[in-house]
Structure 1
């Protein structure tokens, strides 16, 4: 597609895509272009934050930016137009409906009388266009799904047999990349936010069987709870309603009389921060994990003096030159060794099937504190990596997280996690499981402490480890063995060789 001049006709509207897995909204963090700027196919025009990560969005065609529909900091629903770009070629009838005032908006075969007969107010801007009956939002970000009912074309307007080829191609590519194209049966993926999907999975509810109460077709938490046992909850309600009705009325009236004063807040003394994006998703995930998986946490304090000496030696090793070598690297390796010896800890709970799913691979999550909130990207197939490879992966993971560039794919599929609270000077904690995982290891600060070593009290490098695990699939014996093995490796690093 060739670059256009500012005088060329044809306005293309780029809509907010679903850059995650079934997400329904994203916040515009930053615009990299302004009206009047020239853009090319594949150029990044903005950065958005979803409930999972910050992602840069490329524009799929060449042209000149004519309008930015939303300012920075605005949360936009998937499928809404965020930017309009003027491109080469005459506008199609579909584009004409969004730009009625633009010259050339009606196709060439239309007569002058036909153009005059089409009133300007018949066209509604795309950003404000009401949802037609029989249509619903889609998650690939290219408008709404068409129903079997066709809108009657305006008199004199030429209607093409199908959508413009570039738009069809862009839609297909976007759907393929996101994994949200139509299923084999041709049905659309149910709309729901990540916390609701997690709740449905934990309760064993198939989202495809739920009829959403939301007018936009988005499934809510209430819809999921209602689907668990609708018959059981509905039966006792009907006979009790007439009896309880009179008693309820006075109770409802009391708050109405007491709500006259409206609370005011001194903005000089308080700051209110909206919870959205990654922080909101993290909060929902942690609440869901804490009240779904029965947590057990065990602690052990260990002398890691030999591990700290090994870290210094590895920094001088030519095989590790240019790599980030720190205690976390050896702690990660120690946990991988413990999982190899006790593979049942590397598992997840399938609520729907009432099964324990044992994983034969380790995607090692590393909890990272970022300005946007807590992220847990993971190192894919960490169990198969050598120590230099693991060091390289850790370095890339941490650097990407600090820059805020962690992709949604990097945070999916984790099997076990490490959270290093020691970097904040904290001795230990009781970590909450990352949803879908069976165990998480917290590492405390490494400090010089008096320690009995070879019968004498000496200053030694000491830390405290805490392992939280899901007691549905990890019992006390298994959890204790895993934690003890991690401690043993850190106390005697030579076990990395003898136990590998």
Structure 2
């Protein structure tokens, strides 16, 4: 009889797909227990605080267990799927009694050998920890659900009552329980696979709230009874689902909110505005669309605005910097990673074009096209959103004239581009209809003073008004 040993099973852990991420939500599983997988095959899609990412498995084998259901937020370094490696025999029912099996020595050492360590995906990395392999109680039979798997794992290793598994609940539900003073360990779950829902928490909170209200008349005179009423009503945090919808703040939206709050209350923002005639720029856009060197590339006003900003940075390099609070230094960047704000179904993301300052106009157009396409498909990688130095946000696509954009953390400036509209404009001494837009430049006033910020904004406006300056200045 051949039995499966621990050495033939691989646990794939939630990797850190960005820099310093601590958790990710499982959006979708592409495999199920019993499916055969190959090295490099995508097994699931997860959403981090930066983007949605597809995770490939780093070895061949057969899926043995999915540790968590879709919609669960999992800490980095936690095993999410187990795979029986290719060539391993399927588990069979043991012939010896369970007591005899427990007396047998563990098949694997406490510290795995270097060659037995789990492969790590290139560019990923798992949270550093001293990993020890625990002996199993015996062969595993049917693949259980996530909640049953956790309980079985504890039972199989002699877990005591104090070591029972952490109740399964999503972060918003945990916060609700904390706000209402409810111990999740005492809540009876009603969700799939033993997941605790908001309704379960409210149900557990209702009896504890009613008890103080019932005791109030005996503990205080009659006039104190009305004061107890609000206490009884306080836990009624439920809402009319027909009139309200509540969406948990997580993933990209949560990270964006935290970053913007941190930016607003850390960097002193200053915003300057300029309205500019971009008629010549719009004509140049149409001419470039017919240029043979630009065939097949995305050519639009944003392309020339991006190029104008890069030229303005070249003329005023001090704008391309960051503030190092820890060392009390201004860090001047000799490269430009140009961020482009993109609205996606998961929220606002800001991927950036690496070394945009070195790109020709066709190369910049190609990079912009790839950036937009990837963002719309929800496939932007965390690496593409790291290391930005200056950002452009195009609010004009929504018909907005302008705005006061907030800086991305670690950056010194952000340029907002408003809608380009046909407006009456004084041109060569006469009022004529011209294509006009408004630009807004926000900058960190700790390292960019009014003179520098004004020079950069004026240079961008001058180039858009007279695009031939791209040749003479660039």
User: Which TM class, normalised by the smaller chain length?
Assistant: 0.7 to 0.9
Question: SS where residue 417 of structure 1 aligns?
Answer: strand
Q: Which residue of 1 aligns with 2:253?
A: 279
1:45 maps to 43
Taking the TM superposition and a 5 Å limit, the aligned residue runs for 1:84-123 are 84-88=82-86, 102-103=91-92, 116-119=99-102
Which among 68, 71, 75 is matched to residue 70 of structure 1? 68
CA contact (8 A) 1:303 1:463 kept: yes
Give the Cα separation in 1 of the matches to 2:272 and 2:285. Answer: 26
Once the 2 structures are TM-superposed, how far is the Cα of residue 410 of structure 1 from its aligned partner?
Answer: 0.5
Q: Report the Cα offset of residue 88 of structure 1.
A: 3.7
Q: 1:86 to 1:302 in 2, by over 3 A?
A: same
Match of 2:427 among 453, 458, 472: 453
2:112 to 154, 160, 163: 163
Q: Distance in 2 between matches of 1:364 and 1:65?
A: 42
* Residues 14 and 59 in structure 1, CA contact (< 8 A), matched pair in contact too: yes
Matched, 1:300 2:283: no
For residues 472 and 376 of structure 2, what CA distance do their matches in structure 1 show? 35
CA distance in 2: counterparts of 1:166 and 1:55, whole angstroms: 28
1:259 and 2:259 equivalent? no
The separation in 1 between residues aligned to 2:18 and 2:67, in whole angstroms, is 22
1:380/1:104 Cα in 2 relative to 1: closer, same or farther (>3 Å)?
A: farther
What is the match of residue 465 of structure 1?
439
Distance 2:390 2:334 in 1: 12
Cα distance, 1:19 vs structure 2:
1.3
Q: CA deviation at 1:181?
A: 7.8
CA positional deviation for 1:53: 1.2
1:177 aligned to 2:115?
Answer: no
Equivalent residues in 2 for 1:301-320 (5 A)? 301-320=275-294
Aligned 8 A contact 2:15 2:124 in 1: no
| 2:77 counterpart (64, 76, 79) | 79
Q: Answer yes or no: is the 8 Å Cα contact 1:21–1:178 preserved in 2.
A: no
Per the alignment, residue 310 of structure 2 pairs with 336
| 8 Å Cα contact 2:15/2:125 also seen in 1 | no
Take 1:168 and 1:16, find their aligned partners in 2: how far apart are those partners? 15
Query: Any unmatched runs of 5+ in structure 2?
Result: 131-165, 167-225
- Structure 1 residues 399 and 155, CA, compared in 2 at 3 Å: closer, same or farther? same
Structure 1: tracts of 5 or more residues without a match: 1-6, 92-98, 106-110, 120-153, 187-214, 216-253
Give the structure 2 partner of residue 16 of structure 1. 14
Distance 2:109 2:11 in 1: 19
Q: Distance in 2 between matches of 1:428 and 1:422?
A: 7
1:29 aligns with 2:22: no
1:67-466 equivalent positions in 2, closer than 5 A: 67-88=65-86, 102-103=91-92, 116-119=99-102, 155-160=104-109, 162-163=111-112, 167-168=116-117, 170=119, 173-174=120-121, 177-178=123-124, 258-261=230-233, 262-466=236-440
1:255–1:284 distance in 2 versus 1, CA, 3 Å: farther
Give the Cα separation in 2 of the matches to 1:356 and 1:70.
Answer: 45
Q: How far apart are the structure 2 equivalents of 1:104 and 1:348? A: 63
- 2: CA distance, partners of 1:256 / 1:167: 62
Shift of 1:294: 0.1
Cα deviations across residues 333-362 of structure 1 (Å, max 9, x unaligned)?
A: 000010000000000000011111110110
Is residue 90–residue 104 contact of structure 1 (8 Å, CA) maintained in 2? no
Query: How much has 1:78 moved relative to structure 2?
Result: 1.6
More deviation in 314-323 or 75-84? 75-84
* TM-superposition CA deviations, 1:150-182 (whole Å, max 9, x none): xxxx75334448525554251xx44x6336786
CA displacement 1:445-500 (0-9 Å, x = unmatched): 00000000011110000000000000000000000010000000000000001111
CA RMSD, 1 decimal = 2.6
Q: Counterpart in 1 of 2:191? A: none
Q: Deviations over 1:401-433 (max 9, x none)?
A: 111111111011100000000000000000000
TM-score, normalising length: structure 2: 0.74
Distance in 2 between residues matched to 1:404 and 1:19, nearest whole Å: 15
- Matched positions, count: 374
Is the contact between residue 324 and residue 392 of structure 1 (CA under 8 Å) also seen in structure 2? yes
> 1:48–1:57: 8 Å Cα contact kept in structure 2?
yes
